[in-house]
Amino acid sequence: MKNKFFYGGSIASHQCEGAYNEDGKGLGIMDVVTVGSKDVPRQFHDNIDENTYYPSHNAIDFYHTYKEDIALFKEAGFSCLRISVDWSRIYPNGDDEEPNRKGIEHYRNVARELKKNDIEPIITLFHFEMPLSLVKKYGSWQNRKVVDLYLRYARTMFEEFKGEVTYWSTFNEMNHLDSDVELNDFFTYMNTGLCYSKVEDPARVMVNCAYNMTLASVKAVKIGHEIDPDYQIGCVFGLTPIYAYSANPEDSLKAFKAMDRDWYQIDAMTKGSFPEYKLKAYCDRGVDLVIPDEDKQAFKEGKIDFIGINYYSSAVETALNLSDKEGSFFGGLNNPYLKQSDWGWTIDPIGLRYLLNMIDRRYGLPMIITENGLGAFDHLEDDGSVHDPYRIEYIGSHLKQIKLAIKEDCVNCFGYLMWGPIDLVSATTGEMKKRYGLIYVDRNDDGTGSNKRYKKDSFFWFKATIESD
């Protein structure tokens, strides 16, 4: 991993593929989620309501357009693309006896198309795409049976793609799941298909889910390494560095402790044991989690090879009660020194350098930026151009900080993958108009539009930037 630096992007199946009921796919938890907006939360349904539009059903139709889209990524100079496999395409109900061959063949075709274009695939096994029936039948991750079913799915993928794919991520952003109510229903739902506000004894359920997912990750890493020792298997985390609001030491301590939520799973996946400080925190919330010997062994044996970092924002924390201050989307408070995106996400390029340093000094493992980008309103001009200087500024300023972290601070970062290189459905709002792409997709929030692709100004800028390294 040392000599390569990957440039490219990340996408997730439920946000781009569409084709929600084709080739044997089962219903996934994101197939029953409505469109929302910055102010209106997405709704989670139990089943498909005929009169409702669900963005994942069509998305941008990447399932059918992947060849043309990959050609555009190639043209933009990409050397890497992170995709996710939708579990419900491989095991439509999650507990089927045999995998769905058509699902496997689809992803094989995508991986081969990427290779043909000299683009290295990174495959995420779980990016909020859980078969809905696992939630209904087993109660999702709180049930250990679901861990076994995930491992069977992971094994299928590792065996099928041996020799074709090198880089894997076991999960995307499971760290947003916690026993604290501060983490809204949305991240709980995306990770589990459960609603925090609707389950009985939510703290206990969330602890069990988060623990079982962490366990599933370490067990999957072991299985993958046994199948192919050359596999590089990591996990992707959504990380938000938290600064102290003031020079008051109490604020520094509060800010430091607020990061435990982001570190504990990385600790569990790199240090060979589930951290004591998290068990204590669970205890304080009334959940006594006892780790069996068999699990202890699993944590020793399933250490990840690299850390994937999704970085969008930083936040601040204070020990004082500042209830008049604005809360940040990912927890903590918004930083008064920093600007925000149109969706209220704080923009902090230096925070990325800070984060890379923290992770490097704490873990010393290879890292890759697996997501970073700006969700913004774009305007398609009559001549098919899209002028997006704000996106160029955002990505450019973050790339500069990564370069400083590598050259000046000697961190081991082996790639930069921007989020949503092609416009796709927003995970948190379900909108199309929250656009991240270098490539514009003519698709609206209600599913109308030609679905045609257009290159934005940022597309040409990104290509030139990669060429000049």
- Binding ligand BGP (rule: CB under 6 A), the pick from 82, 434, 435, 456 is 434
Contact 374, 341 (CB under 8 A): yes
SS3 309: strand
- Binding ligand BGP (rule: CB under 6 A), the pick from 172, 208, 214, 240 is 172
The rounded distance, in Å, linking the Cα atoms of 115 and 288 is 47
Contact 438, 422 (CB under 8 A): yes
- Binding ligand BGP (rule: CB under 6 A), the pick from 427, 432, 438, 441 is 427
Question: Is 445 a binder of ligand BGP (CB under 6 A)?
Answer: no
Our answer to whether residue 173 is catalytic in this structure is yes
Alpha helix positions (H), 161-292: 185-192, 202-227, 249-258, 260-270, 276-284
Render 148-187 in DSSP notation, one character per residue.
Answer: HHHHHHHHHHHHHTTTT--EEEEEE-GGG--S-TTS-HHH
Q: CA of 20: how far to CAs of 195, 296, 376, 395, 419, in Å?
A: 22, 38, 26, 32, 22
- Binding ligand BGP (rule: CB under 6 A), the pick from 100, 188, 217, 426 is 426
Our answer to whether residue 164 is catalytic in this structure is no
231-250 burial, b at 16+ Cβ within 10 Å, e below that, comes to bbbbbbbbbbbbbbbeeeee
CB of 420 to ligand BGP, least distance (A): 7
- Binding ligand BGP (rule: CB under 6 A), the pick from 69, 86, 173, 360 is 173
Cβ-Cβ contacts under 8 Å for 259 (sequence gap 6 or more): 241, 242
Q: Which helix (H) or strand (E) holds 41?
A: none
Phi and psi of 265, rounded to 5°? -75, -35
Choose one: 31-39, 59-67, 138-146, 421-429; the region binding ligand BGP (CB under 6 A): 421-429
Choose one: 103-111, 153-161, 221-229, 419-427; the region binding ligand BGP (CB under 6 A): 419-427
Q: CA of 163: how far to CAs of 3, 159, 166, 316, in Å?
A: 21, 9, 7, 44
- Per-residue contact flags (x/-) with ligand BGP for residues 260 to 299, judged by CB under 6 A: ----------------------------------------
- Per-residue contact flags (x/-) with ligand BGP for residues 349 to 368, judged by CB under 6 A: --------------------
Question: Is 419 a binder of ligand BGP (CB under 6 A)?
Answer: yes
Q: Which of 17, 113, 120, 173 is catalytic?
A: 173
CB of 95 to ligand BGP, least distance (A): 25
Choose one: 21-29, 31-39, 252-260, 425-433; the region binding ligand BGP (CB under 6 A): 425-433
CB of 427 to ligand BGP, least distance (A): 3
CB of 2 to ligand BGP, least distance (A): 27
Question: Is 335 a binder of ligand BGP (CB under 6 A)?
Answer: no
- Binding ligand BGP (rule: CB under 6 A), the pick from 142, 265, 310, 314 is 310
Number of residues that bind ligand BGP (CB under 6 A): 13
Q: Which of 371, 381, 408, 431 is catalytic?
A: 371
CB of 468 to ligand BGP, least distance (A): 27
Question: Is 235 a binder of ligand BGP (CB under 6 A)?
Answer: no
Choose one: 74-82, 96-104, 222-230, 424-432; the region binding ligand BGP (CB under 6 A): 424-432
Question: Is 139 a binder of ligand BGP (CB under 6 A)?
Answer: no
Closest alpha carbon to 436 in 370, 384, 372:
372
Closest alpha carbon to 437 in 418, 463, 465, 416:
418
The rounded distance, in Å, linking the Cα atoms of 90 and 125 is 11
Closest alpha carbon to 190 in 372, 56, 391:
56
CB of 80 to ligand BGP, least distance (A): 17
Residues annotated as part of the active site: 173, 371
Binding site for ligand BGP (CB under 6 A): 12, 172-173, 238, 310, 371, 375, 419, 426-429, 434
